[in-house]
Amino acid sequence: MAIVPISIYGDKILRQKALPVKEVSDDLIRKIKNMFDTMRNANGIGFAANQAGYRESIFVLDLEGADGYEKFKPIVMINPKIILQSDEKSFKEEGCLSLPNLHANVLRSDIIKVSYMDTDEKEVEIEAGDLLARVILHEYDHLIGKMIPDRVAEDVKTKLSAELANIMNREVEIEYPITEG
Ligand code: ZN
């Protein structure tokens, strides 16, 4: 088990676009395991590679702790692509391990279709709704360098600015290892 420090808002890697994965190597499997360990240690339900300091286009999901998803198996999505987003959208509160203690309502599509490669290098396509769709869209955003503050209205972002500054300066209480900044 290896827990790695989580990148925090302001870290450059969170603004970089992820690099496509060509093959699922042993090194990649090791990184994926570290991502699960790090996410679970911080009680997260979704986690993108750049949050763990990795450049690859990967995120992991583990929704077993969420209401209605108890039987849901953990998923690894490699090179994910959002191929459909419903016009019907909803606001719901989101948090992010790279934005400790911050919460904001984010507008996202209710239903999406996503394609990705699994760890057996097979192409998979799934339709997702509700929480699953939201978590996938949130993690996909990380892979294109976007985060919650980029998905809220300008006035909301202004209201969050003091909190964001505190996070960048690491002036918040965080119960899991983070980067030094
Ligand atoms: Zn996040």
Which residue among 56, 94, 139, 163 is the active-site one?
A: 139
Query: Does some domain include residue 80?
Result: yes
Tell me which residue range forms the domain holding 29.
12-168
- In the predicted model, residues of the chain with pLDDT beneath 50 are none
Handedness of CA 2, 61, 13, 42 (dihedral sign): negative
88 in catalytic set: no
Query: Does some domain include residue 28?
Result: yes
Query: Does some domain include residue 1?
Result: no
Tokens of residue 51, six digits: 């949050």
For the chain, how many structural domains are there in total?
A: 1
**What pLDDT does 181 receive?**
82
Query: Does some domain include residue 177?
Result: no
Task: Give distance in angstroms: CA of 122 to centre of ligand 1.
Answer: 26
Query: Does some domain include residue 6?
Result: no
CATH number, domain containing residue 143 = 3.90.45.10
Tokens 């849901």 sit at which residue? 72
Task: Give distance in angstroms: CA of 132 to centre of ligand 1.
Answer: 14
**What pLDDT does 156 receive?**
95
Classify 54 as helix, strand or coil. Answer: coil
Query: Does some domain include residue 135?
Result: yes
Task: Give distance in angstroms: CA of 146 to centre of ligand 1.
Answer: 9
Query: Does some domain include residue 88?
Result: yes
> Do the beta carbons of residue 66 and residue 131 sit within 8 Å?
yes
**What pLDDT does 67 receive?**
87
**What pLDDT does 4 receive?**
98
Query: Does some domain include residue 68?
Result: yes
